[in-house]
Each structure stands twice: as C-alpha cells, then as structure tokens.
Structure 1
Amino acid sequence: MAITEFAKKYHNKMFPERQSSLQETDPEFVERFDNFAFDEVVRQDDLDDKTRFMAILAALIGCQGSDEFRVMLPAALNFGVKPEEVKEIVYQAVAYLGIGRAFPFLKITNEVFQKLGIALPLPPQATTTTENRREAGTQAQVDIFGENMRDFWKSGPEESRHINCWLADNCFGDYYTRKGLDYRQREMITFCFLAAQGGCEPQLTSHAAANMKIGNDKSYLIKIISQCLPYIGYPRSLNALQCVNNAIKNK
C-alpha cells in the first residue's frame, strides 16, 4: 500500500513543499492516515474546502488539539479561510469552552499570523456596545432559535437568572453579533465545538436544531461530522450524529 496520488496532491496543497518528519519515523501510520483523512474523507462529499477547514479548526479547539491546530492553521489559510474568520472562530470558542481552554489557541493563532507576516491586531469586528449588547444578543437568539427566546434572558429561578442574561449579552451579544462570520457559519462552528469536546449532548442537540432551522440541514451536518471525524474520533462523531437525529425527532 502507498499514499494515493489524490492524498499527495491534497497534502501538497495544504502544506506546499513541506515534508512531515512522521514519514521517516512512522511511515505506515502516515500512509493510512493520509489516505483516509486526505483522500477517502475529503472525497466523501461535496463540502467546499474553506468550510471543511473552518470546521476542522473549530473541532481541534473543541478537542484541545493544540499541536494539530498549529499545523492545520496555515493549511486553512491556504484553502481560503481569512485571518479574521480564524480569529472569530477562536474568539467564539471562549463562550463554549471558556478562556482556560481557548487561550492556548489564541496564542497559537497570533504566533502563526506573526510568522506569516499577518499584521495584528486585525480590523475591529464588533457591532455592539455595552449599552446595546443584551438587546442585540437577544435578537440574535431569536433569529437563530425562534421567538420563544425573546424573554429568555429574564427567565428561570431568581438565583440563576443572571446566567440566562449572560447567555444573551455575552455569548450572543458579544460574539454572535460580530462581523467576520454569519449566523450559519457561527452555528456550524458551535456545533463543532460541542461535538469535539464531548459531554455536551443536550446543548449539541439544541444547536443541531438551531443549525437546521437557519439552513444547515441534516445532510450538511453529516458532512461536517464526517470531515471532523479524523480529528475527534469515532465516539464523539457518532454521538454528534445521534444528537442530529434526536433534534429531528424532537422537532
């Protein structure tokens, strides 16, 4: 068995003129992984390369794959993911993983950008202010999940109501309202964050439903899961697929 021509060409497009040291130390592994991830998986569906790499970056943050993220970030740029889109993926990860798990990826992104000569900071993308972030966040929730979210920010027991408010003003008002990514892209990367980190099946089911509500249908989500599988493994990929099916049943 040898690395296929398709896998070689795809790898060369990701990493022009780069030879992995693993080809010397682990040739059998590289052969099987490259043929699977860069041939069989890529040719499984018609997902465009840019979306594929946005999903991969989000999944790698979700599963804490920092070393692979560092490797795949330049490849994502080579396939058309814009620097501001990368930054928006990393920023939004804070809402779903916390700064403790997202901070290493912000550092890696800055290091890679500086090495590639991408000037920092990037142009501002915020569209909200301290005064209107809650209202704008609520509107984003309504746009994505439905009118039932209009008063969600002030619902629930008094002792925990502030968390529902934070979901509106921080998670959605501070992040989803930013430029750089649209709602469909933001819900797709959220789906990847949740699927990759595992243990978030209720939220993953909810965001699978939200994805489908705004146009990322079941077929699309299966494509996303399929392209992330080499990076997050089978158990979490199968769990994500089950959450998609559960979202359809609940609907």
Structure 2
Amino acid sequence: MTRIAHTGCLALLALALTATATFGEQAMNERYARGWKALTALAPGKAQAVQDGLADIAPDMGRFVVEFGYGDVFTRPGLDPASRQIATIAALTALGNAAPQLRFHIEAGLAAGLSPDQIVDVIYVTTVFAGFPAGLNALAVARDAFAEKGVAVSHAPAHAPDAIDRRARGLAALAATSQNAGQHVLDSLADIAPDMAAFILDFSYGDVISRTFLTPAQKEIAMVAAATARGTMAPQLKVHAKAALAVGMTREQLAEVVIQMAVYAGFPAALNGLTALREAFAEVDG
C-alpha cells in the first residue's frame, strides 16, 4: 500500500469514527431532551433538583434517570402520563422503601391530572396487595404532598348510595372482571381458611375494588403494577392481567405497565412480569 493510500485510509477511518461519535452524541442528546421535557412537565420545580442532588457523587445517575427513565420509557406511546403515574404510585407504595420517590410521583400524578381522591384510591388498591403498613406509610407521604400543593381529598362517597351489602358489592366487582370467579374463591379456600375467602370478597372487592374514584382499567393498572413490583405474585398478576383485558385494556398497554416497572422495581421484576403476562395471554387464547 502506498503512503498516499495509507494516509487516505486513516483519514476515512477518522471520519467514520467522528461520524459515529457525533451520531451517538446526537442520539444521547435527543433522548435527554425528550426525557427532560417529560420530567419538567410533571415536576417543573423539582426536575433540576434531581440532577443537582446527584452532581457531587453520581452525575451519570441523573443522566440515566432522564435519558432512560423518561426519554426511553415514560415517553413511550402505549400509556398516557396519568396512567403511568398510577402504575408508579402503586409500585412505590407496594415496594415500601422509596418514600421520597413516592412523594415526587404523587405530586407528578397531580400534575398529570389525577385528583387527590384518585391517588388515595391507588394507595387503597395497593394496600390489598402490599398490606396495611405499606398503605399507611404511603398515605402519610400523600398527606404531606397534598399539603404542599394546597389540595385535599373530597370525602365524597366512594360507593353508589344504594342498599347493596359488601358481599354483593364484592361479587359484582369480581364478576365484572372475572365472571364466575366468586364461587371459585370461596371453594378454593373452604378446606383451610374459609374466612380468608370472605375477606377477599367482602374487603378486597366489596370495600376497596368496588370504589368508584378510579375506572376499572385504572384499578387494574395499579394492581398489575403492584404485583409486578412485589415480584412474588405471578398467580395474582396473571389473574389481573386477564381482568384488565376484560375491562378493555389492550395487551400492549399491559406490557407497557410491566416495562415501566423496570425503572422502579428493576429488570428482574419486569422480566418476570412479562413472563406472567405471556402465560396469561396464552391462557386467554387457549
């Protein structure tokens, strides 16, 4: 190879490397810009604080939050911002170990159009999956967030003003998503804990899931997110994936809820959730 040809090859290689680096930087900037726009729309007063709080120890973590959490995931078209906040509030309530992030997303939920009553009902629904300590701690966070934003719950009746009792309400709520599953719940626990079956129907469905501040689809988003985030509820996740389909959610929307859990509960939880979704869909098709 002549010196001229060798020099020309080096020049082409340098040009290619420069172009690759420029393309990579441009892609990174586009992801960051997209994520930053979404983040500041939800938390205009606190978005910069997220970056500033990490600048001294892990500035790349701040970039990851914006680029991946918001630029890659939150801005995907499968769910609207309010639905994504329902999923996030449910997941963080269920995890029980992220009070600062829960408060951030309660405020973001308000910015996305959720009412205080709806946010509280997301916590009620999640309490069914994560227990009363998780629910009580989340309500304490919500109280502080609402006070800062100058909003409050309405204390409006959560159920229709009729004479229907808890058991009938619970059976009706369960039938709306799972057809004749009520008797199956009773039968499945009759040999060991019949009162647990009654608690599921009367409390979980009759008192909580039958409440009217959230739509049926919003309740299922919260339950799918909570079950995925906890990481130990594949059977329940499959039940509520099917229930979500029954109330009009699409498979793509359910996948989006679970994909988002990679940001808040980690990739293993999200991957296990997707496996449960695949099995639920196959059972529906079968």
Identity %: 22
Q: Contact 1:128/1:173 (CA < 8 Å) preserved in 2?
A: no
Deviations, residues 118-167 of structure 1 (Å, cap 9, x unaligned): 135633323478970111101111111012x2434642435411111111
Return the alpha-carbon distance in structure 1 between the equivalents of residues 279 and 143 of structure 2.
Answer: 38
Q: Aligned letter for 2:71?
A: D
Residue in structure 1 matched with residue 196 of structure 2 by the alignment: 163
Deviations, residues 209-233 of structure 1 (Å, cap 9, x unaligned): 2212222221111111122321111
**Which residue, 50, 53, 60 being the options, matches 2:82?**
50
Structure 2 unaligned regions, length at least 5: 1-24
Residue in structure 2 matched with residue 136 of structure 1 by the alignment: 169
Return the alpha-carbon distance in structure 2 between the equivalents of residues 10 and 67 of structure 1.
Answer: 19
Describe the SS at the equivalent of 2:79: coil
Q: Contact 1:128/1:136 (CA < 8 Å) preserved in 2?
A: no
Q: Contact 2:262/2:268 (CA < 8 Å) preserved in 1?
A: no
Q: Contact 1:6/1:39 (CA < 8 Å) preserved in 2?
A: yes
TM-score using structure 1 length: 0.91
Q: Contact 1:154/1:164 (CA < 8 Å) preserved in 2?
A: yes
Q: Contact 1:153/1:166 (CA < 8 Å) preserved in 2?
A: no
Residue in structure 1 matched with residue 94 of structure 2 by the alignment: 62
Residue in structure 1 matched with residue 12 of structure 2 by the alignment: none
Indicate the RMSD between aligned Cα atoms, in angstroms: 2.1
2:62 is the counterpart of 1:30: yes
Return the alpha-carbon distance in structure 2 between the equivalents of residues 150 and 103 of structure 1.
Answer: 28
Comparing 86-95 with 120-129, greater Cα deviation is found at 120-129
Q: Contact 1:134/1:168 (CA < 8 Å) preserved in 2?
A: yes
Return the alpha-carbon distance in structure 1 between the equivalents of residues 215 and 108 of structure 2.
Answer: 22
Q: Aligned letter for 1:86?
A: I
**Which residue, 17, 25, 48 being the options, matches 2:45?**
17
Deviation at 1:7, TM superposition (A): 2.0
**Which residue, 224, 235, 244 being the options, matches 1:191?**
224
Whichever of the two has the greater Rg, that structure is 2
Return the alpha-carbon distance in structure 1 between the equivalents of residues 186 and 234 of structure 2.
Answer: 24
Deviation at 1:68, TM superposition (A): 0.7
| Cα distance change, pair 192–130 in 1 and its aligned pair in 2 (3 A) | farther
Q: Contact 2:228/2:270 (CA < 8 Å) preserved in 1?
A: yes
Deviations, residues 181-206 of structure 1 (Å, cap 9, x unaligned): 12121112111111111111111112
Q: Contact 1:153/1:161 (CA < 8 Å) preserved in 2?
A: no
Q: Which has the higher contact order (CA 8 A, sep 6+)?
A: 1
Residue in structure 1 matched with residue 21 of structure 2 by the alignment: none
Structure 1 unaligned regions, length at least 5: none
Residue in structure 2 matched with residue 107 of structure 1 by the alignment: 140
Residue in structure 1 matched with residue 36 of structure 2 by the alignment: 8
Return the alpha-carbon distance in structure 2 between the equivalents of residues 128 and 170 of structure 1.
Answer: 18
What is the total number of aligned residue pairs between the two structures?
250
TM-score using structure 2 length: 0.81
